[in-house]
Structure 1
Amino acid sequence: MKSLNVGMIGGGFMAKAHSLAISGGVNMFFDDGIVLNRKMIAEVNEEMAKDAARRFGYEKYTTNWRTLVEDPDIDIVDIVTPNNLHMEMAIAAANAGKHIICEKPLGRNSNETKKILAAVEKANVKNLVAFNYRKTPAVALAKKFIDEGSIGKILNFRGTYLQDWSADPESPLSWRFKKDVAGSGALGGDIGTHVIDFAHFLVGKIDEVMSMSKTWIKDRPIQTGGLDTLGNKSAENTERGVVDVDDEISTLLRFKNGAVGSIEATRNAWGRNNFLTFEIHGEKGSLYFNYERRDELQVFFAEDGDDRRGFKTVYTGTPHPYGEGLWPIPAIGIGYSEVKIIEMHDFLQAIIQDKECEPNFNEGHKIAQVSDAIIESSKNKNG
């Protein structure tokens, strides 16, 4: 059985999610024939690096990420750091000949992602940007129905990503509120790119946008401590810093294939936890998905008789995409960790079969281009 060594850069909550998949989850579910060894993890200081290695089960740790990238024993570099570090780390990993997984967004803007893409193409290494929500079996099932023509030509896509973790003005000034680190806010720096990924995956290339953005909370308490803080927690620090990214974006879309649509993303929607949705209307039917009910896909097929038309709920399980590796009963339930396991499975299959990963850095670059266009469109419409 082949063995590959993984080096993780970053020790926050995304390191937890990725490490769970690496630690054996992918082999338990899919038996890909590759053993993944948690070889080394990098963090910003000795205390954090040592603690991350202990918690997530890595053999070694370092406070210098370049030591990890340049280690000849490392086969895969997994980047789970703030957005401003992605470009330098990904290019260095590519130059070192490593396969790369990078958390989304791939870069702060398309100028960065273009350079990253060029590096991995030159190095000919496998690369995946972690838009893991598209790996949810219900989303993959929607793609299957679309590709089969079950809803006909797509007319409209409506996507949302609504959260409330930053609705409290006293929640801390995370790096996600800083343009120089995140690139943008609810759009590219955090959640909106997931909806763009859904749109590209399910409908096709976005050609035109018309957008508005808004920053509702102009300053926040400066965060103390090294790790990113999420959630509606009041900070102890009374000193405040400026928020210079968007809290909310709304955009109309025109796709290359003629479909139209819209995307809405906000982190200030009280009562919404992880309300990531899409609704797609075609000439022969419709599909609806809500990640908060991730085992369900709502389907409507116009070919049904008049006396039985209506949305039906399909509970994903064994007969559906990735079902062979997951739980044997539909609606038994999957979670965020299983979606990351599926993501890792697809990445390993790309390595084994020497094929392209999806979504790869090319797709990450295209998403960055759309994000840039949304920002540009919104500049004179922010109010």
Structure 2
Amino acid sequence: MSKFGIGLIGLGGMANAHIRWMADESERFEVVAVSDVSTEALTRVGSQLGLDEGKRYADFKALIEDSDVDAVVSVTPNHVHAAIIEACLKAGKPFLAEKPFTRVFEEAGPLLELYKQQPVAAMIGFTYRYTPAFRYARELVLQGKLGTIRSFSVQYLQGWGAAQYKVPYVWRFDKNITGTGTLGDLGSHMIDLARFLFGEFEELSAQLKTIITERPDSATGQMVPIEVDDFASFQAQMTGDVMGVFQTSRNAIGSGNQHEVSIYGDFGTIHASTENPDKLIWIREEEPGQLSRSTLDVPSSCKVSQYSDFLAMLDGKEPNGLPGFMDGYRNQEVLDAIIRASETKTVVKL
């Protein structure tokens, strides 16, 4: 079996997780080049990986063009997502890129046209498709165990941005870098989970809110106005007349990384959450008038890693449920519709 040389772009905190995941498949992956705008990060990670100076790139385009790089893993802030994807498409390099697909939807259209002309194997980092409980929920839905699905609710809550924590102004609050706030950061995962489970969005309404309207600059102490949302809620009609309600916030004290879904069908209800990723709650009537509430163990068949699918993609296979290029594009399309629905206070059709 061939071993793939990986070029890693973006050496912040999440890069460490990707390095660990690739180390778990060390017979098939080798990080052969790195890129970052920070000289310190290039030196630190380059030394950690034993890379020569010539394989430590300040310019990500030079990394993508490196002949030793077979595929790219990009872990960067939102404002460079489009440029990195464009460079990978033009170079014909397979890639795993961070979500959201682009900073704003206007950047997504040219990428789609380029992809149509020159398709490249691509994976977008919707990591929660690989939460075992979510995959098992999808399996039960597809098998018809819940009967006709009528509605569902999804929430993704974190608490680190709440007022009492006095979090300073960081790049995640900068509209020029992120495009949106909580919506693109956490909401994109909710959108992807809904598409993974139920199909496409058909129409939606939405409300975005900036709860903490200013934050202190860590260098100067001066207050900086916040232009991006830190709370988002929306409701949608999905394929097959399935109705969904969504909520996400960075101000939910007590929530570390609480991403969960409840699905309501004619034969019962299931709950799945990142807080208990190997279990699933199933509520149903086993006897007329007698509700049964069971905690099910997720079967091993639903325990698939993101990097095993990435590897399968590089091997030329098409893993079921892999979040590909079009999943990234469609996700960005829904994000844009949510913004328009909130701004206009109208129902937006997709």
Distance of 2:99 and 2:39 partners within structure 1: 26
Cα separation, partners in 2 of 1:43 and 1:209, compared to 1, 3 Å: same
Within the candidate set 270, 278, 283, 2:266 is matched to 283
Superposition map of 1:159-174 within 5 A: 159-168=154-163, 170-174=166-170
| AA in 2 matched with 1:290 | S
Cα 1:157/1:47, change in 2 over 3 Å: same
Judged with a 3 Å threshold, the aligned counterparts in structure 2 of structure 1 residues 285 and 209 are, in CA distance, closer, same or farther, namely same
1:265 CA drift (Å): 0.6
Partner of 1:372: 336
TM-score by length of structure 2 reads 0.92
Residue pair 1:298, 1:311 contacting (<8 A) in 2 also = yes
Within the candidate set 304, 307, 315, 1:352 is matched to 315
Matches within 5 A, 1:293-372: 293-302=276-285, 304-306=286-288, 309-318=291-300, 320-322=301-303, 342-355=305-318, 358-372=322-336
Give, in whole Å, the separation in 2 of the partners of 1:157 and 1:114.
30
In structure 2, list runs of 5 or more residues that go unmatched: 346-350
The answer as to whether partners of 1:120 and 1:127 remain within 8 angstroms in 2 is: no
Pair 1:267-2:250 in alignment: yes
Deviations 1:139-180 (A, max 9, x none): 111111111110111100100011111113621211111111
SS at match of 1:19: helix
> In the alignment, is the contact (CA less than 8 A) between 1:157 and 1:203 conserved in 2?
no
Unaligned runs of 5+ in 1: 28-33, 225-236, 324-341
Residue 212 of structure 1 corresponds to which residue in structure 2? Answer: 207
**Residues 1:176 and 2:191 aligned together:** no
* Among candidates 39, 45, 60, match of residue 46 of structure 1: 39
Within the candidate set 241, 247, 258, 2:241 is matched to 258
Matched, 1:248 2:235: no
**What is the TM-score with the length of structure 1 in the denominator?**
0.84
What displacement does 1:280 show? 0.6
Q: Are 2:95 and 2:121, in contact at CA under 8 Å, matched by a contact in 1? A: yes
Give me the whole-angstrom Cα distance separating, in 1, the residues matched to 2:49 and 2:132. Answer: 26
**Number of residue pairs the alignment of both structures matches:** 342
> Structure 1, residues 336-365: CA drift from partner, whole Å, max 9, x if none?
xxxxxx111111112224437721110111
Partners of 1:6 and 1:174 in 2: how far apart? 29
Residue 348 (structure 2) aligns with: none
**Deviation per residue, 1:49-78 (Å, 9 max, x gap):** 111223466563221212101101101111
1:79: how far off?
0.9
After TM superposition, give the deviation of residue 95 of structure 1 in Å.
0.8
Q: Distance in 2 between matches of 1:116 and 1:18?
A: 25
| Superposition deviation, residue 258 in structure 1 | 0.4
Q: Which moved more, 1:255-264 or 1:351-360?
A: 351-360
Identity percentage of aligned residues: 31
Alpha-carbon deviation of 1:45? 2.9
Residue matched to 2:110 = 115
Are the equivalent residues in 1 in contact too, given 2:8–2:33 (CA < 8 A)?
Answer: yes
Contact 2:132 2:303 in 1 (8 A): yes
RMSD of aligned alpha carbons: 2.0
- Which 10-residue stretch deviates more, 34-43 or 274-283? 34-43
Q: In structure 2, the residue corresponding to 1:292 is in which secondary structure?
A: coil
Q: For residues 201 and 279 of structure 2, what CA distance do their matches in structure 1 show?
A: 26
Question: Are the aligned partners of 2:198 and 2:239 in contact in 1 as well (CA < 8 Å)?
Answer: no
CA shift at 1:193, angstroms?
Answer: 0.8
